[in-house]
Amino acid sequence: MIPAHVMPNWFSLFATSMFVALPLFFGAGCETWSERADGNRALALLDSGVNLHIGGDPEAAIRSYEEVLSIAEDPEMKAAALGNIGLALTTLGDTMVAQAKFEEVLILTQHPETKAQALNNIGELLQNQGHLDAACVSYVEALRLTTHPDLESLINEHLDAMPATVCLELLAQ
């Protein structure tokens, strides 16, 4: 080992700056390692749930999303998991519980697009149940929030499928 009085000045400066830079580079100060690991695990579980649902196993997808809810602290991550649970429940035909999950998303999220997607999903459930006025309210609110062209197009398709007189007042506002 080189004694400190022999070590060049640039080396101690480099070593000091590395001790400052490394924690920033590796994320210390932003979140704990366990929070980062939980966040990555939550994302992996969300992805796994989507793949399970698409693969035809909505029950397993729900279990994956419920695990996300048990480890995630971020409200947006929880909102994503709840929205996906709602979609899986819709696939299973449990529309009442699905709607409740979408309504929980509206409470949790601050993201307008996530709110718009949840409102669209609620509108679809209401429309399929024959509650056209309530569906229209949900679609119009979703349309007001979204800036995503695909979602906007989907909402407009739903509105176009409604009887002409149902949404006229809301759309005129």
Question: pLDDT at position 7, please?
Answer: 41
Token readout for 112 is 């307008």
Interval 9-50: pLDDT, tens: 433 333 333 333 333 333 334 454 445 555 689 999 999 999
CATH fold of 9-94 reads: Methane Monooxygenase Hydroxylase; Chain G, domain 1 (1.20.58)
| Torsion angles phi and psi, residue 18, rounded to 5 | -70, -40
Residue type for 73, please?
E
Q: Where are the domains of the chain?
A: 9-94, 111-173
Give every CB contact of residue 25 below 8 A, 6+ residues apart in sequence. none
pTM score: 0.76
Interval 92-105: pLDDT, tens: 999 999 999 999 99
Question: pLDDT at position 35, please?
Answer: 52
Please check the confidence at residue 70 and state whether its pLDDT lies above 80: yes
Interval 123-137: pLDDT, tens: 999 999 999 999 999
**167 — pLDDT class (breaks 50, 70, 90):** confident
Torsion of CA 74, 97, 49, 80, to 10 degrees: -30
